[in-house]
Amino acid sequence: MNSTHIQRKIEDSQKLERLFHSVGDRNLGEVTIMLYLTILSRFPTQDDTKAIAEYAESAPSKCDAMVDLAWALISSDEFFYRH
């Protein structure tokens, strides 16, 4: 999952790029929901949202946290089995 092919798809995706950078204009929860819907086709649980908010506080930027979230979702078993 950490191939350059997958990395390029994430980096070149206009939709994901807009989501990553919209965290400044939207609240973190909205962007989190949009990433979950885009990648896993479901809403995040309350535990997911809480963990992401805690992680975002320690990340260099909220945009970086959203990129990390996208990678985590794409690397998850749930994504693997659905897609």
Say whether pLDDT at 75 is over 80. yes
What DSSP string describes the chain?
---HHHHHHHHH-HHHHHHHHGGGTS-HHHHHHHHHHHHTSSPPPHHHHHHHHHHHHHSS-HHHHHHHHHHHHHTSHHHHHH-
Report domain extents, the chain. 4-82
75-81: average pLDDT: 88
9-67 pLDDT per residue, tens = 777 788 888 888 787 767 889 999 999 999 999 999 999 999 999 999 999 988 889 98
Say whether pLDDT at 2 is over 70. no
Give residue 59's pLDDT.
92
Query: Rounded distance, CA 51 to CA 79, Å?
Result: 18
Say whether pLDDT at 83 is over 70. no
